[in-house]
Each structure stands twice: as structure tokens, then as C-alpha cells.
């Protein structure tokens, strides 16, 4: 079941990243005044390419649930970041850019990290801690994801705030999906339905802030920060809401720990390459704003001309 879980996690990641690449293209064209508003998503729902990307992402949701049901959380969670390799391939096809040495280094590190994670994975399934601990972790992540909305229109309403809020929201979504998968496996239908509702709410808010971040800043900032936070924050919080013994892992979990570090390094290296950044931002070149003049915070500056919707 571990091998099936790993496979499901990797395929889900590929679908998620392919979908977000298509969505990012349209997010760049959306009106800037809709940032951090539900109307941003409403407008994007009328754009065929964005809806196609959303549909591709939804195809990955059942696979993510299966991955969480069949493999330990600490193994599946980092695998959800390996789909960045797809962005590299898409960038080469659409932009005609050959992978750089930096990109190949990132690919090699991610593959090495996945191998180490699979080797060092605990051999038993994880179990939930008390209801208070589980709810507390998810609620904390959800509250963090609301910070950009509380700061909207203020001095701290920046691209960095949006990307961090989005990452926390998607981290909450991943944790809720894991809890839902476990409850489904144990035939706890009401609890599973509750976690599904939490995941949907957190995912919607994270999508709004994520699209806003792609409007405001270069993807070289958005991708590394968002991917690293939403992938590894739940892993760091795992001991607070799950019981999973590393005694059952090879070498007391050392390969697992090293694999996580190596994979994180690979994600950051790969995400900062020009090819991945350009396709994720939906741009044909280096200009991240589609012609926008921007200040250091990522907002449009005086006299800036927004991209047409």
C-alpha cells in the first residue's frame, strides 16, 4: 500500500501543479482591484483556461485522499511538491527554453529526496491525537490564512503577506484532507464530512490569496515561499496532531529526515529557475507584471497600467 500511496501522491502533485500553471496565466490578466476579494475568483471562473486548470486540480483531489489513506502523512506531504518538475517541462514546451544546470540540480535533489523519504518511511500507519489537538492545529492554520484579508488596504497588505496566507490556507487544506481520509477509512462519516467542509473553506480562501500573490509579485518569490511553507509546515506540526513512531523507520528515521531536507533544497533551487517562474507567472518573458510598474511591496505604483482582463 505504501508504493500505491506514493504513486497517488506524485500523480496528484503533477495534476495540482499543471492546473496552477494554467490558472496563473489568467490570474495575471485579472483586474488588480479584485485582489483579496471573492470577485477575483468569480471573474476567473468565466475564463476557460482558468476553469480548465481548476478541473485538472480537482482530478488530483481523489488521488491525494488515497495517498493520505495508504501512506504515512510525513511521507505523502513532501511528495505533493514534486509536481514542480511538470512546470519545468511545460515551460520548455511553451517557452522553448532548455533546462539550465540549476534546474537539473534541482531535479536531481528532488529525486534523491523522494528516494530517501520512501526508504525511511515508518512502516505503520499514523493515528490521530485528541480532538482538541487536531482541531487546534487546523484552526491555527486557518486563522493564519485570514491575516491577508484583515490587512487588506493597509501598509502590510503586500505580496509577501498574500503568499504566506495562501500557503497557510493550503497547509490547512492538506491537514484536513489527511484527517478526512483517515475518518473515511474508519467509517466515521460525519467527521469526514466536517473535515471536507473545512478543507473546502480553507482551499477557497487560499486560492483567493494565491491568485492575488501571482498578480502582485514575481513567481520567483511566490513559488519558493508558497511551496516550502505549505509542504513542510504540516510536517513540522505533525507531532501535534498525529501519533507516528519513527522507531519503525529505517535507521531511526535518519533517511527520512535527510530526504526532507534534500527535497526542500531541490524545490527551492528548481522553483527559482527562470523557466518555472515564467510559466507559473503566465508570462512569455522576464517581466513579471505584464507591463505593470510596481513598488517594492508588489503593489502597482503611480501611473501603472494594469494588464487587461
Per-residue pLDDT tens digits for 125-174: 567 788 888 999 999 999 999 999 999 988 888 888 998 999 999 999 99
Give the residue among 297, 295, 275 at the shortest CA–CA distance from 286.
Answer: 275
Inter-axis angle of helices 101-120 and 2-27, to 10 degrees?
150
Give the C-alpha distances (Å, rounded to integers) separating 212 from 51, 84, 174: 17, 20, 20
Q: Would residue 293 count as lying in a domain? A: no
Backbone angles phi, psi at 80, to 5 degrees: -70, -5
Q: Would residue 151 count as lying in a domain? A: yes
Q: Would residue 234 count as lying in a domain? A: yes
Per the structure, the complete domain to which residue 272 belongs is given by 2-281
Q: Would residue 117 count as lying in a domain? A: yes
pLDDT of residue 168: 96
Please report which residue ranges of the chain form alpha helices under DSSP H.
2-27, 38-44, 48-70, 73-79, 84-95, 101-120, 131-145, 147-150, 159-185, 189-216, 219-241, 254-271, 274-281
Provide the 3-class DSSP secondary structure of residue 307. Answer: coil
Q: Would residue 190 count as lying in a domain? A: yes
Q: 93 vs 299, which has greater pLDDT? A: 93
Please, which pLDDT band fits residue 98 given cuts at 50, 70 and 90? low
Q: Would residue 221 count as lying in a domain? A: yes
Q: Would residue 35 count as lying in a domain? A: yes
Provide the 3-class DSSP secondary structure of residue 153. Answer: coil
Number of domains, the chain: 1
Q: Would residue 178 count as lying in a domain? A: yes
Amino acid at each position: 500500500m505504501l508504493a500505491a500511496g506514493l504513486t497517488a501522491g506524485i500523480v496528484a502533485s503533477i495534476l495540482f501543479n499543471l492546473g496552477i500553471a494554467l490558472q496563473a496565466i489568467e490570474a495575471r490578466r485579472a483586474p488588480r482591484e479584485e485582489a483579496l476579494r471573492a470577485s477575483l475568483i468569480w471573474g476567473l471562473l468565466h475564463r476557460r483556461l482558468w476553469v480548465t486548470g481548476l478541473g485538472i486540480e480537482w482530478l488530483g483531489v481523489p488521488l491525494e485522499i488515497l495517498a493520505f489513506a495508504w501512506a504515512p502523512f510525513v511521507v505523502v506531504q513532501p511528495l505533493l511538491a514534486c509536481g514542480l518538475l511538470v512546470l519545468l517541462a511545460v515551460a520548455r514546451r511553451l517557452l522553448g527554453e532548455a533546462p539550465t544546470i540549476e534546474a537539473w540540480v534541482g531535479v536531481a535533489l528532488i529525486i534523491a529526496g523522494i528516494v530517501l523519504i520512501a526508504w525511511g518511511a515508518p512502516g505503520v500507519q499514523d493515528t490521530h491525537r485528541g480532538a482538541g489537538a487536531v482541531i487546534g492545529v487546523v484552526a491555527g492554520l486557518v486563522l493564519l490564512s485570514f491575516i491577508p484579508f484583515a490587512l487588506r488596504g493597509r501598509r502590510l497588505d503586500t505580496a509577501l503577506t498574500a503568499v504566506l496566507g495562501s500557503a497557510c490556507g493550503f497547509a490547512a487544506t492538506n491537514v484536513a484532507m489527511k484527517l478526512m481520509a483517515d475518518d473515511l477509512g474508519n467509517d466515521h462519516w460525519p467527521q469526514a464530512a466536517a473535515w471536507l467542509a473545512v478543507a473546502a473553506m480553507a482551499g477557497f480562501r487560499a486560492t483567493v490569496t494565491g491568485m492575488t500573490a501571482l498578480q502582485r509579485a514575481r513567481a520567483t518569490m511566490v513559488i519558493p515561499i508558497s511551496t516550502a511553507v505549505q509542504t513542510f509546515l504540516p510536517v513540522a506540526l505533525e507531532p501535534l496532531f498525529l501519533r507516528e513512531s519513527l522507531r519503525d523507520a529505517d535507521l531511526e528515521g535518519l533517511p527520512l529526515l535527510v530526504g526532507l531536507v534534500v527535497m526542500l533544497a531541490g524545490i527551492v533551487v528548481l522553483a527559482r529557475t527562470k523557466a518555472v517562474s515564467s510559466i507559473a507567472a503566465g508570462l512569455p518573458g522576464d517581466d513579471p507584471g505584464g507591463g505593470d510598474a510596481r513598488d517594492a511591496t508588489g503593489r502597482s505604483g503611480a501611473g501603472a497600467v494594469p494588464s487587461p482582463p
